[in-house]
Amino acid sequence: MPKVSYDHRAVTIDGRRVLLLSGAIHYPRSTPDMWRLLMERSKEAGLNAIETYVFWNFHERRRGVYDFSDRLDIRRYLQTAHELGLYVILRIGPYICAEINYGGFPVWLRDVPGIQLRTDNEVFLREKEKWVRLFCDYVRPYFAPNGGPIILAQIENEYGNVAWMYGEAGERYLRRVAEMAESLQVGVPWVMCKGSAPGTIETLNAFYAHPLLDDYFAKYPDKPALWTEHWPGWYDLWGYPHNRRTPEDVAYAAARFFAGGGTGMNYYMWHGGTNFDREACYLQTTSYDYDAPLDEYGLPTTKMYHLARLHRILQEYAPVLVESERATPEVLPEGVTAYTYSRDGRTLVFLCNDDEAKAVRVSYEGRRYNLPPKSVTLIAAGTLLMNTAQVEPRYIVEPRMVIADPNLSPFQWWVEPSPSETYTPLHPPVLSDKPVEQLQFTHDETDYCWYVAKLMVLPDQAGAGVLELQAVADVVHVFVDGQFVGTTQPPLIEDRDLDDPESFTQRFQTNLTAGEHTLAILCCALGVIKGDWMLGKHNMVDERKGFWGTLIWRGEPLQVPWRITAGLQGEHGRVYAEGSALVKWESSLEVARGKPLCWWKTEFERPKTDAPLALDLSGMTKGIAWLNGRCIGRYWMAPGTGKPSPWLAPAVYQEGEGQPTQRYYHLPKEWLRDRNLLVLFEEVGGDPTQVRLCYRV
């Protein structure tokens, strides 16, 4: 059985060094029938490995109840990789970040008494070890020494980003984590990215990893340089423009890394896919396209074809690269750096022009080469194999959405009742003299929580004014006496600070007459945070949703008792599935157009096309969508007006400023039937006559 190890140059399998070209495909972000095709396409594009995180939060949604079915059938995923001859890098975490709900932790962890996450806390370490042991036993046959495809495993994730918060406790934690991993005896090397403990290989995550190599080898002369996250694009946030990265820049960064002596690289993401259901973390869009080489629907992009050319060259010269020592850089008179790898009479040269703006003409071994700005030219035996800045025109793909036939039947509607009426809530309502954050009632089984109070407005407080909610999250819709008053305006801030009240304060302009009013606030969570830094200097357990602060009217705090109700009536009655038959749907579209809190349903026949399907939700505002009872995700047409984080700038550019953040929503083929039920819960108000079924070409 294969023995996996490593030396100072590369990962070794049965003593042979391998060059690892890997791509991340997260199994829950596509459907099982897509996995084989995704992996086949990856292989065709020259990858020899795939990588995935493991999603504890989905495998154990309820404490002690495990799920490995359907999109969570990781054994099927591993088996498929194995059948295709692909290695697997398994990043177990179980903290994974990944733009996924609670960074991969089940939300019930918050309720375990005495817990603090990702630090030297016995309660957390016990829960974590229990899961990791169970999981590793579950996939044990798939580790390489047992004949399976898994050659590397990761424990924890980027602890370096939070270590400063935990000091010595953090160091102890990381050591204990590494010891626990070792004790599992999976038989393959353990890696840790950005921060590590003895016994593991520390790996790199970056847009450009070559500038990190000298320090890496100085610190770890006996270890190979592995790049666990090469970001070929970036994730999108509601209310922000679409993030993109050019194929040329990704190829430059990849080639530059191998030139500098790296021997293993994983694209994060190679296929981003979809955050179905309520699986996205706070503010993360339903699409996780990531501008990755395989698009959200699994189709090849220009980036994939361009990188595939580079991969073929790297694979062809893999023995030359891994069997030589790290090349000594040779700076040419023109300022270009050459890296030469030679072995058994074969040579691969990388000519690197790192200048961002200037093209350079160089003479090298008797030939002349034009090097565009920020590019790597690969040369063998005097033949130019590729320049990373030149995309061949035949590989340019221009994807489009086409309206599918047949079309949707006329929409029907039903209005979500307000919680003060006859209402069967998900959990019994809670009466409290002050607002209480919602996760302790919803346990994150729903995004929604109602906060209802009676207000007595005295004559001197009557008139126009600002209703202020201090300590509220994430999106809220405010109703007074059943009338819609206002909603949270995007963009929201990605990294907030619990100690900065302004981060969690929202204000609504309204008019209140003297007398009694019913104030109803519907709080809508947008996913649970993915890491401590999203709360300021707080542990992830401190995450809060809903309303837990002060209500202020015209500058004066109002002390009122609250009735707090978790979830929607329509969710509880599953009106998006079999419960659809139990409510009385109305057909008069004109009456409901633009109404808040409206459930919409339509039906359609299975489209004839084989192409991937999507829903164009133009005309709608914000809510959740279901296909045949399965949740396809949150939707929000929030315009992309937010300013991107400046640190992305060297690699990432923006597109679609001011446009709806996400217009198209993936409808997986496997969820379709001959006759299909599509249900939307629209929170703010929409016009479904503009909604279309589309396919991607």
Q: Where does residue 410 rank: exposed (0-12), middle (13-18), buried (19+ CB within 10 A)? A: exposed
DSSP secondary structure, 259-281, as one string? HTT--EEEEEEEE--B--TT-B-
CB of 207 to ligand GAL, least distance (A): 11
Please, which residue, 51 or 474, has the CB nearer to ligand GAL? 51
> Which of 46, 2, 667 is closest to 315 using CA atoms?
46
Query: Contact between 494 and ligand GAL (CB under 6 A)?
Result: no
Please, which residue, 193 or 379, has the CB nearer to ligand GAL? 193
| Token couple for 616 | 């164009």
Please check whether residue 265 is in contact with residue 20, taking contact to mean a CB–CB distance below 8 angstroms: yes
Query: Contact between 652 and ligand GAL (CB under 6 A)?
Result: no
Please, which residue, 230 or 309, has the CB nearer to ligand GAL? 230
User: Is residue 356 among the annotated active site residues?
Assistant: no
Query: Contact between 157 and ligand GAL (CB under 6 A)?
Result: yes
| Residue of the chain from 74, 98, 566, 613 that contacts ligand GAL (CB under 6 A) | 98
393 Rama class: left (phi>0) / alpha (psi -120 to 50) / beta: alpha
Report how many residues bind ligand GAL under the rule CB under 6 A: 9
- SS3 state of residue 35: helix
| Residue of the chain from 6, 207, 235, 508 that contacts ligand GAL (CB under 6 A) | 235
CB of 228 to ligand GAL, least distance (A): 8
Instruction: Give me the catalytic one of 51, 60, 99, 158.
Output: 158
CB of 208 to ligand GAL, least distance (A): 14
Query: Contact between 265 and ligand GAL (CB under 6 A)?
Result: no
Report the Cα–Cα distance between both ends of the chain, in Å, rounded.
43
User: Is residue 158 among the annotated active site residues?
Assistant: yes
Query: Contact between 229 and ligand GAL (CB under 6 A)?
Result: yes
What whole-number distance in Å separates Cα of residue 3 and Cα of residue 16? 10
CB of 281 to ligand GAL, least distance (A): 9
What whole-number distance in Å separates Cα of residue 423 and Cα of residue 565? 10
CB of 394 to ligand GAL, least distance (A): 31
In degrees rounded to 5, what are phi and psi of residue 71? -65, -10
Please check whether residue 27 is in contact with residue 295, taking contact to mean a CB–CB distance below 8 angstroms: no
Query: Contact between 99 and ligand GAL (CB under 6 A)?
Result: yes
Within 8 A by CB and 6+ apart from 118, the residues are 95, 124, 156, 159, 162, 166, 173, 532, 539, 540
Query: Contact between 284 and ligand GAL (CB under 6 A)?
Result: no
Please, which residue, 10 or 100, has the CB nearer to ligand GAL? 100
Please, which residue, 340 or 654, has the CB nearer to ligand GAL? 654
Please, which residue, 103 or 596, has the CB nearer to ligand GAL? 103
| Token couple for 531 | 């890491």
> Which of 314, 301, 290 is closest to 207 using CA atoms?
290
Residue nearest to ligand GAL (CB): 97
CB of 203 to ligand GAL, least distance (A): 10
Helix 302-316 with 247-259: angle, nearest 10 deg: 20
CB of 235 to ligand GAL, least distance (A): 5
- SS3 state of residue 665: strand
Q: Pattern of binders to ligand GAL over 58-97, x per CB under 6 A?
A: --------------------------------------xx
Indicate which residues carry an active-site annotation: 158, 229
Q: Which residue ranges make up the site for ligand GAL (CB under 6 A)?
A: 96-99, 157-158, 205, 229, 235
